[in-house]
Chain A
Amino acid sequence: MNLFTLMRIELLKLRKSRSVTVGLVSLVFFVLLMVWGFYSYAMRQTGGDSIFRVAVETGYFNGLLFSLYSLYFAFNFVMPVVVVMVAGAQISGETHSGTLRAILSRPVGRARLLLSKFLVTVLYTWLVMAAFISFNLLLGFFLVGWGDLGLYPGPLGLVDEPGSIAQNIALARFGLATLSGSWSLVTLAAVAFFFSVLFDTPVISVTAAVLVYFILTVIGRVEFFSEIKPYFFTTDMDFWRLVFKPQIPWRELAYSASRCGIYVFSLLVASVLIFERKDITT
């Protein structure tokens, strides 16, 4: 059984999975709430005479800035859950439903099965990221149009002074963000995947991964814990935003991306070692 065939089977299962549907619906719901939120903010700021455009400090919202904010908020709170829901159920879901013993009763290598599942999870993460960014950009374009991407000091933490990125370059940066963002999320997916091998029920593995992510994210944001922050994988995951800096700090980006890669590789190797030795007793 070659890896490609296994991946095709995994994709078929994933395509019809309810977790994927729930995840995608929740992302669409999130974007629609963001639109509603921005719209009501604009109405309030302009006394009701604006449809959507509104001054934000010194610049204006447009479809690109809307997409960036939507991506930023989704990335911190929604995307991790959407990815973990799938990654954390890859093995534990099969164990829980009894399909893992049916699969492994077939002439399938355990390491190969694990690898195929992980590669499909990576592909899924990239697709979710790409679809989310595309959806935001298109929605932003149809609602308010594009333009240069305005950057302001604030929650994004990208600039100290207001600035902007030209529209075409900004669109390319969104393209880059699909890669940096999905690579960053794959780190969390690897954590969830590891728990999925460790535990026999998807609820536990998904919850464990979400808890680890949120605990480390919260602790990492506390100023006086800055000494321990560099040891958290969540700190490195933040590198995805660097592609939206006016000048991309490639060295810093490569450093964090490599550290994420090391986390992913280590977790994957640990997952394979555990899975190879695991007795399937459920």
Chain B
Amino acid sequence: MRCASSESMTSLPFDVLLATENLTKKFGRRTAVDGLSLEVHRGDVFGFLGPNGAGKSTTMRMILGLVHPTAGSVRIGGMDTACSRRELLARVGAVVEAPGFYHHLSGWENLRIFSALGGGASDAQIAEAIGVVGLLGREHDRVGTYSHGMRQRLGIAQALLPEPELILLDEPGDGLDPRSNLEIRRLIRRLADERQLTIFLSSHFLHEVEQLCNRVGILNHGRLLYQGSVADLLTQELHLRLGVDRIGEVRRFLQSIEGVRILLEEPRALTLRLQAVDPAWLNARLVAQGFHVHEIRTVKETLESVFLRLTGEEAAA
């Protein structure tokens, strides 16, 4: 990947810590990531969502320089990683997929090695990182004796050393039992709150992202479908639950109204998606048609439903 000159790059606002511009990766004829332009702001807990094979891990690997982009660029703090990879990676901690460790060495020795590769950390810093992830007392045991959850936490400790601004976590909850998953989520939240770290988190656990992240990017088939705040995403569309009799007739009537789409049909209720349609107006129309409406209420979309809708729409298109 050629290093882009500073003149050829558009300037980024200071609060953008990580940005990709038209990032593309092709493996032979298959396009894994297609023109991805993302922005992660300082202090964000950014959720990077997508089904398996969407291109999340490839994107993370391109950010870290593990995979060479076919086109596009990655900037950290406004600087192109192709120009100053080593300097920029010193500011980044990462766990890509399952954290890799030397199983025949202790957790402490592993942290000593990986922190040395990042410029070195003192014993106090290593001990602190071990404390933060809750592995005190086990740090001198061989990593081979650790559970999957403990290795995941050691991976986060590794990413915290020596002192990163940005942490990339690839599927941190993958393969963990519910309790370990909850512990990891709490740990990530604590790191964001107490250390003001910017966290870029890929996941396909939507409830995890909904609880943790303030901003998200949704990727499918290598293309970005959405990026922005979780709150905006969840209020983009109005969903309405409608309790009615003569459901078949109501369905036919609603299908004739532009901006109304039936998402779910139950024996005595319909869930609708409204675009530029006022619920009160719709209610009046139904009543005027002689339908008995016994329930009408707005329904909050979940990240899961938005995700399924966006990725489903793309698949349908």
Contacts and interface: CB of A to CB of B under 8 A. Distances in A.
**Are A and B subunits of one complex?**
yes
Contacts of A102: 94-96, 99-101, 114, 158
Interface in B74-90: 85-90
A251 interface: no
Interface residues of A, number: 27
- Report, as a range, how many residues of chain B touch the other chain: 35 or more
Given A16-B104, A99-B102, A109 B92 contact: no
Contact of B109 (A1, A12, A99, A109): A12
Interface string A92-112: 001001111111111111000
Contacts of B95: 102
B286 interface: no
A271 to B, nearest CB: 17
Contacts of A5: 116
A219 interface: no
Contacts, number: 88
B136 interface: no
Nearest to B103: A97
Contacts of A108: 86, 117
B105 A16 contact: yes
Interface in B140-171: 158
Contacts of B102: 13, 16, 97, 99
Given A107-B85, A107-B119, A280 B100 contact: no
B86 A109 contact: yes
A279 B57 CA distance: 12
Interface stretch (B60-68, B127-135, B172-180): B60-68
A279 B66 contact: yes
B64 A105 contact: yes
A94 B85 CA distance: 21
Nearest to B170: A101
Given A97-B100, A102-B100, A107 B66 contact: no
B269 to A, nearest CB: 47
Interface of B: 27, 58, 61, 64-68, 85-90, 92, 94-105, 109, 113-114, 116-119, 158
Given A13-B102, A97-B103, A279-B27, 13 more contacts: A98-B97, A101-B66, A102-B95, A102-B100, A104-B65, A105-B94, A106-B118, A107-B88, A108-B86, A108-B117, A280-B67, A281-B66, A281-B67
